[in-house]
Structure 1
Amino acid sequence: MQIRPAIRTAALCGAAILLASGCNKKADNTINFTSAINTYYSAHPACLWSDPIKFPVQADTSNATKTSGYDALVDQGLLVRTTAEKKVLIIASKQVNNYDLSDKGRSAWTADVNQPGYGNFCYGHRKVSTIDGSTATTDAVGATTQIDYHYTLSDTPDWAKAAETQTAYPQIQTDLAAPQSGHATLTNTSNGWQVSSARPSTTSSNDGKIVE
């Protein structure tokens, strides 16, 4: 009759140990590595341009590489386009397009808090799907580890899923097609593991890049 209480006590103790281990943010385990990377990218979304830009912008209509990306955003209602002539010489001029944010674009715009008037169109956040490898480390504060992982993008808006947008910005199509590989350096802090550096993302066409 004394066996069952002993088993119950052992089981409760084991569960408590597992719970304590899972709540230890400084432990060197997959759960904490995943949480650190996801937390980092929750504040660093994937965006169209590597650097924030400011609208309105003007582009020469004879240069498709300058206008196609903006035109795709016009098609999605994020920008409005007007045409004008710009003098280049006293007796010559060229056709240009002026692009500015629409009301829909302003609601989708991610403003840069450090540069008033500047911002970006962002199309999702990395979410770790698997941790593929990590270098040896410890749970000591100051310890570091190199993490290889795969991720998908979450919170992707409809405008980024449109064929026209993905043609103009191929990196979006690549990011959404299948889990992508990533690499990050994590450092253990008093508050748990945090990303200290991340590999730069791939550049897409039409100056469309994603930022860390």
Structure 2
Amino acid sequence: MRGLTRGILIGGMILLAAGCSSKKDPTKANFKEAINSYYSAHPECVWTSPVKFPVEADPSKEGQTAGLDALTDAGLLTRTSEQKKVFIFGSKQINSYDLSDRGRSAWTPDQQQPGSGNFCFGHRDVTTVDNFTTSGDQQGATIANVDYHFTISDIASWARSTEMKTAFPTIQADIAGAQIDKATLVLTGNDGWQVSKD
């Protein structure tokens, strides 16, 4: 009876120790948490860099207006047309786009560039960490190269329209389903693994 009690006690201690892994351990669970934490603060957005409104575009150039018109159709922008003087004697039609009331509520301001921002439509959610390798770098830090699958979560309803997917092919690709990517993570002091921005 005493041997059975001791066996149960030792088994329980082993399970408890196994369940208490550190955030610093190179595990798939820690890498998944670190990547998800990074992308919760870095959502997927319409443009690759922040934009400042109002914006003017030539309506005869579809490449300039397709995305802006799709955002207008989604109710995020307003569009006004006006004649603008060109040189001394001529004028041409220009569309002016600005944030609508709905657009202001969907707008994500850029902290580094006041007045600029983006329309963000969801964020990455790691579904699986497929494999990883760890090594040291030249400064002595421990880094991990991680291969993972992800989907886009919390997709904004306006991003699902056919017009948006056509005007912004990246949205179409992002919300199509599971995708594969790589991340480089660095082991930090007290915070465990973090996605490297380099």
Q: In 2, Cα distance between the equivalents of 1:53 and 1:62?
A: 21
- Quote how far apart the aligned CAs of 1:18 are: 1.4
TM-score by length of 2: 0.93
**What residue is the counterpart of 2:159 in the other structure?**
160
Offset of residue 189 of structure 1: 0.9
TM-score in terms of structure 1 length: 0.87
Does the 8 Å CA contact 2:134/2:142 hold for their aligned counterparts?
Answer: no
- SS of the aligned residue for 2:196 comes to strand
User: Structure 2: which amino acid aligns with 1:14?
Assistant: I
Q: Structure 1 residue 197: deviation in Å?
A: 3.4
Shift of 1:51: 1.2
Show the counterpart of 2:2.
2
Q: Does 1:98 align with 2:96?
A: yes
In 2, distance between residues paired with 1:25 and 1:160? 35
Question: Which position in structure 2 is the counterpart of 1:206?
Answer: none
* Length, aligned pairs only: 194
Structure 2, unaligned stretches of length 5 or more?
Answer: none
Separation in 2 of the partners of 1:53 and 1:197? 22
Alignment root-mean-square deviation, CA: 1.5
Quote the offset at 1:147 in angstroms.
1.0
The 2-side partners of 1:94 and 1:4 are apart by: 90
Identify unmatched segments of 5+ residues in structure 1: 199-212
State the distance in 2 between where 1:72 and 1:111 align. 20
**SS at structure 1 position matched to 2:111:** coil
- Could you report, residue by residue, the CA deviation over 1:48-107 in whole angstroms, capped at 9, with x for unpaired residues? 111111100000011011111001011110000111011113222111111000000000
Does structure 1 residue 15 correspond to structure 2 residue 15?
yes
Classify the secondary structure of the residue corresponding to 2:134. coil
Runs of 4+ in 1 over 3 A off after TM superposition: none
Question: Identity percentage over the alignment?
Answer: 49
Aligned to 1:147: 146
Deviations 1:139-181 (A, max 9, x none): xx82111111111111110001111111100111111112111
